[in-house]
Amino acid sequence: MTKAEKNHLNRVAGLGCIVCLNLGYPNCPAEIHHLRYGVGAGQRSNHYNVIPLCPDHHRNGGHGVAFHAGKLAFEAKFGTERELWFQVNGLLKEAA
């Protein structure tokens, strides 16, 4: 990982969970979720295709809460990971 990538991840995590923010709870400590584009071998996500999610919204929450418990249910409720990614990058630009 390059220094710039590390810096970017720190800034993304520093935003707090993007879902909690949209629910009205800013600054919820977040971990990094890597977006996946396409399917199949060779499609590796890079460190810029990331969004901040708290442990509950990332993997600990149940179906309909955690992204990794069910992507479709998560996206129906909170927006697609692509939409959240656009929002995150807008916030980073404002903060820059």
Contacts with Zn ion by CB under 5 A lie at 17, 19-20, 33, 54, 57
Report CA torsion sign: 67, 45, 12, 84.
negative
The residues that bridge with 34 in the sheet, in sequence order, are: 50
For Zn ion, the nearest residue by Cβ is 17
Q: CB 6 → Zn ion: shortest distance, Å?
A: 18
Least distance in angstroms from the C-beta of 86 to Zn ion: 17
3-state secondary structure (DSSP) of residue 32 = strand
Q: Report the residue number, 12 or 20, with the smaller CB distance to Zn ion.
A: 20
